[in-house]
């Protein structure tokens, strides 16, 4: 495994979280503690650099690369894919924890001819469901990649979709759509999402001067970013299936239009009703569904501001004049 798997960890200004992550990686029972581990440091200023150098003294298999500038989180992910040189690469973040008890099944999968090895299955309930697989693949450390699949086309797509939040799915979508026999899904999660310090859309702008942020970076959030990235899917039926079903999990067992309403509500509350997000949402779909979304958008921006019923993860809510909220039905 040491000759075929490498770890590349991306970090920026998360000293305390990174310390916990490194403790997991170099724990006594860690099966990866002797692997080559490259840390891509996005020019941190909070003591992260010094922390890595301290660990490097004790663990010579750490390679510490400090970028000359903060290139942003997605560019750092892209750089990790670009630098991968062994048969398999596992790209990690600086704020997760790990359960090594089930690593044996991952190690066995590494010895076989898989192109994509999932390390987490939380969102996967049907092993052949492309929407669930792509959703899980948005989680950066959720996959180990066979680097033979990271060709020039994949790298260009990764770099060119950085503003969409989920450029990493460019490395997995072809396998998920067309070569699912090359995918391994574990019985148990290896990666435990632990110390999420902020909402995912905030990671795009960490370290940027708030007065000098490109508006497309400022407005984007998970759902819009995923839908824009999913435009790489050329088969219209496949693309529509993914976009209509990616939201489904045990918590959000909702209809497509309930899901759409959560997107509009988040865009209203967190992004000040950004019109470009609404336009992007409509353009991500084709045909009749696009027309339906345009009509829904117009209603949401006008009539629904007076009276609107929507569903959240606890039941149904009614909102009047965009301010008064009352729960109609409670679920669970």
| Beta pairing class for 324-330 and 37-41 | unpaired
pLDDT more than 90, % of the chain = 70
Residue 216 lies in a domain: no
Residue 284 lies in a domain: yes
Residue 272 lies in a domain: yes
Tell me the pLDDT band of 259, cut-offs 50, 70 and 90: confident
pLDDT at position 55 over 70: yes
CA distance 250 to 271: 26
Together in a domain, 294 and 186 = no
Together in a domain, 189 and 107 = yes
Together in a domain, 175 and 267 = no
State which residues form the domain around 256.
Answer: 248-330
Show the CA angle centred on residue 48, arms to residues 45 and 51, nearest 5°. Answer: 140
CA distance 175 to 144: 13
- 250 or 84, which is more confident: 84
CA distance 210 to 190: 36
Query: What would the two tokens of residue 167 be?
Result: 């450029």
Rg (alpha carbons) of the chain, rounded to whole number: 21
pLDDT at position 63 over 60: yes
Q: Which of 193, 212, 233 is the last residue of a domain?
A: 193
Together in a domain, 74 and 163 = yes
CB burial readout 8-19, b (16+ within 10 A) else e? bbbbbbbbebbb
Residues in the chain: 332
The mean pLDDT value for 208-237 works out to 90
Residue 218 lies in a domain: no
pLDDT tens digits, 103-125: 999 999 999 989 999 999 988 88
The mean pLDDT value for 14-41 works out to 97
Together in a domain, 96 and 172 = yes
- What is the biggest distance separating any 2 CA atoms in the chain, rounded to whole angstroms? 63
Mapped onto helix, strand or coil, the DSSP state of residue 194 is coil
Residue 207 lies in a domain: no
- 224 or 307, which is more confident: 224
Together in a domain, 292 and 144 = no
Residue 249's pLDDT is what?
46
Together in a domain, 186 and 253 = no
Q: Which of 176, 193, 210 is the last residue of a domain?
A: 193
CA distance 233 to 64: 36
Here the CATH number for the domain that contains residue 186 is: 3.90.550.10
Residue 266 lies in a domain: yes
Together in a domain, 162 and 17 = yes
Residue 236 lies in a domain: no
Residue 25 lies in a domain: yes
Together in a domain, 177 and 90 = yes
Q: Which of 193, 212, 230 is the last residue of a domain?
A: 193
Backbone angles phi, psi at 314, to 5 degrees: -115, -10
Together in a domain, 51 and 176 = yes
Together in a domain, 170 and 91 = yes
CA distance 221 to 225: 6
pLDDT at position 323 over 70: no
CA distance 273 to 277: 8
Q: How many domains does the chain have?
A: 2
Tell me the pLDDT band of 303, cut-offs 50, 70 and 90: confident
CA distance 306 to 309: 10
How many C-beta neighbours within 10 Å does residue 140 have? 19
Closest by CA to 42, choosing from 80, 69, 74, is 69
Together in a domain, 31 and 171 = yes
């Amino acid at each position: 495994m040491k000759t075929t798997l490498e770890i590349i960890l991306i970090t920026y200004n998360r000293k305390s979280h990174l310390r916990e992550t490194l403790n997991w990686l170099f724990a006594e029972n860690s099966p990866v503690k002797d692997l080559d581990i490259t840390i891509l440091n996005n020019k941190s200023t909070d003591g992260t650099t010094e922390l890595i150098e301290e660990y490097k003294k004790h663990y010579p298999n750490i390679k510490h690369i400090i970028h000359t500038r903060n290139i942003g989180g997605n560019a750092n992910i892209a750089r990790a894919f670009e630098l991968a040189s062994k048969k398999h690469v596992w790209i990690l973040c600086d704020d997760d924890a790990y359960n090594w008890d089930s690593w044996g099944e991952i190690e066995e999968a590494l010895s076989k001819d898989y192109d994509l090895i999932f390390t987490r299955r939380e969102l996967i309930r049907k092993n052949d469901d492309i929407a669930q697989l792509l959703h899980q693949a948005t989680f950066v450390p959720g996959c180990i990649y066979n680097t033979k699949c990271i060709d020039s086309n994949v790298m260009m797509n990764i770099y060119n979709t950085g503003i969409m939040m989920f450029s990493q799915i460019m490395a997995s979508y072809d396998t998920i759509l067309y070569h699912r026999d090359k995918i391994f899904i574990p019985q148990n999660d290896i990666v435990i999402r632990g110390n999420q310090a902020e909402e995912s859309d905030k990671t795009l702008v960490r370290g940027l001067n708030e007065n000098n942020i490109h508006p497309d970076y400022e407005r984007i959030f998970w759902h819009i970013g995923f839908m824009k990235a999913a435009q790489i899917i050329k088969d219209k039926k496949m693309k529509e299936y993914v976009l209509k079903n990616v939201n489904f999990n045990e918590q959000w067992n909702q209809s497509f239009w309930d899901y759409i309403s959560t997107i509009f509500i988040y865009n209203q509350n967190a992004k000040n009703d950004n019109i470009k997000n609404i336009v992007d949402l409509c353009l991500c779909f084709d045909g009749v569904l696009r027309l339906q979304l345009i009509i829904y958008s117009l209603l949401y921006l006008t009539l629904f501001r007076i009276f609107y019923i929507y569903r959240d993860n606890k039941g149904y809510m009614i909102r009047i004049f965009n301010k008064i909220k009352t729960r109609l039905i409670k679920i669970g």
